[in-house]
Amino acid sequence: MENGGNRLAWRASVLAKHFSQIPPSPQNALAGVPCLQYGSPEENSGKPAFDITVMRKLMDGHSVEVRDQCFELMRKNELFHLKTGGSTTFLGVDYGALLHTQREITMERLMYMRDSGVFKGLLTVNTMEQYLTTSAVFECMSLFDHSLSIKAGVHFHLWGGAVLFLGTKRHHDKWLKVTEEFGIRGCFAMTELGHGSNVRGIETVTTYDPTTQEFIINTPCESAQKYWIGGAAQHATHTIVFSQLYIGGKNEGVHALICQIRDSNGKICPGVRIADCGLKIGLNGVDNGRLWFDNVRVPRENLLNSVADVTPEGKYVSSITDPDQRFGAFMAPLTTGRVTIAVAAVYQSKVALATAIRYALSRRAFAMTPNQPEVLLLDYPSHQQRLLTLLAKSYAMSLAGNKLKMIYGARTPADAKTIHVLSSGLKALLTWHFMRTAQECREACGGQGLKTENKVGQLKGEYDVQLTFEGDNNVLMQQVSKALLADYFSSLKRKKPVKSVGLDHMNAPRPIIPAKFTSDLLRNSKFQLALFQLRERDLLERLAEDVTQRVSRGVSPAEAANQSYQLGCRLGEAFSEKQVLEAHLAAETEQTGSIKDVLGLLRSLYVLSVIDESPVFLRYGLLTSTQSQIIHQEVAALCGELRPHALALVDSLGIPLDLLGPIASDWVEHNSYKNVLA
């Protein structure tokens, strides 16, 4: 008891002393503890080493004034403003709004742009200037909201493009101007529940009744229902129906007709059934729907007849006798979509990178030594390699997208195959690049990347569909390789030089790669191009040998190519990445001074990071492990050299600051409690 009593007395004494102390005031408790002070990217960067205005013009490629006017139109209307708290107005979308609300506000935004004259001449003026203006407008809409650009794209590029390219004067006179004015609202019914990429296999059936001179459209089974049709669920009044055309009992293949699905009051037309595809992981401002047709009759004149026609008596006529060529002509509207998607993907990569890099130039984490300031995220070599390699690729791909647009805008019928191959490969390459960029930027922004107002995380769901629509990326890459393989086999058979797009180098001796790599050699543009050409040549020769061996064992040529898909996809990637490099080199050659110097650094980082990440060079012995290690080290060195230019390069992308999320600006002020209450 005595020991216990002493212990209790001791504890009571300790508690008494504790309670007798005067607690310090909050002010005293925080004395000497500094709060984090926001430092802007501009404060943490040096003066630009090159002219940002010149670089921006190079990146956009054209119509800079049109783009600025388009952004200004958005600023003038609250339909485009995102309420995030505080006094700063951001351009953006409320992704948390109800499905119906997102769809209606997307339509309201389109009508505002129509009323502002943005779409004037889009379908009725056929000049290069109009084409480039249209491209710029769509790229601005895509930067603001994917739903806005896709809603407009379905109406103008798919519906309007089908009327323009597949129709003739009677269709142009009746439909193009009214389409520009949104007097009707068009959609594009190609994809079915059972068939997407394989358009030849669609099951919707159209027959002809010569007694009434009408076509009759039917959905014969559930797998034939038209699916994912943008605009069909709510707003569209007319659609282009792709179906198997039967004339006199003979299937003449896939053809396109104009069909009304709603009247001007929104009432669904007789024989048409419509259902909603519902909520999606993104793109919810577009009302995707499903369509069924039950003996729906349309006038004979509604057949889009630039490729083939049916006479009043019911005779099928076409100037293209080859069914494969005829089918290819019907796929023309998709080329526009692939070009648009490829370019839009690069612009979205720019949004993600501009946000993540600006944040990395203002956010600090950890100190290298005690009592020293925390380090800017972008001063960590690991963070540089995460973001600056993607920035270099985005620059190169932006130049490739600009070149593709110019080729497409100046196209002739003879360019059809070249454009198909180029657009297919670049659509796949650039959209894959975007998804990787969006994910890396989301992670690089930490928890802030998860907030929809900061966009980088939301971009993944909004643009994921780019990898699927207008052609699955893996299918497109195999189409590229099959086209290259066919031309290669043809040249061997004819014992003539290879003339396929981009394969002229195959007629020259195989490049010889020096054993010793130096920094100067690795940054040499001729050496870089030779490496990319070597990879493409090696993969094409391997694919040809693989297919030939399979055919010699009794496998059909089509199945042999199918079984060689791994080589085929890698060849498609090699071809497309080489096209990107060639576009970069062409643009770089036209520049001088500091712009040319920085473009050289970007090009080298693009090339060497592609090589560093591609297993093909080591897999097939194009490089040794020692050479590969030297390239790996050079990538890190290039990232360090580009670090001082990071902000200037981001500013040159031409993305308005109010179009980026709050973390691209003063994120401390934005998240202050007073802004919470605002």
Sequence length of the chain is 678
**Amino acid (one-letter) located at 599:** L
Instruction: State the Cα–Cα distance between residues 561 and 85, nearest whole angstrom.
Output: 57
Strand partners, 64: none
Find the Cα–Cα–Cα–Cα dihedral 60, 61, 64, 70, rounded to 10°.
-60
Instruction: State the Cα–Cα distance between residues 568 and 340, nearest whole angstrom.
Output: 25
Residues near 249 by beta carbon (within 8 Å), at least 6 away in sequence: none
How distant, in Å, are the alpha carbons of 357, 403, 437, 475, 625 from that of 571? Answer: 32, 21, 22, 13, 22
For residue 369, give both structure tokens: 């030594």
**Amino acid (one-letter) located at 325:** Q
For residue 672, give both structure tokens: 């202050």
**Which residues are known to be catalytic?**
470
230 is in an annotated binding site: yes
In 116-202, alpha helices (H)? 128-144, 146-153, 161-166, 169-171, 177-180
191 is in an annotated binding site: yes
Q: How many CB atoms lie within 10 A of CB 294?
A: 12
Instruction: State the Cα–Cα distance between residues 430 and 442, nearest whole angstrom.
Output: 18
For residue 614, give both structure tokens: 């591609």
Instruction: State the Cα–Cα distance between residues 78 and 80, nearest whole angstrom.
Output: 5
Instruction: State the Cα–Cα distance between residues 57 and 534, nearest whole angstrom.
Output: 33
- Per-residue b or e along 238-254, where b marks 16 or more CB atoms closer than 10 Å to that residue's CB: bbbbbbbbbbeeeebbb
**Amino acid (one-letter) located at 636:** A
- DSSP letters of 384-449? HHHHHHHHHHHHHHHHHHHHHHHHHHT--GGGHHHHHHHHHHHHHHHHHHHHHHHHHHHHHTGGGG
Binding site listing for FAD: 191, 230
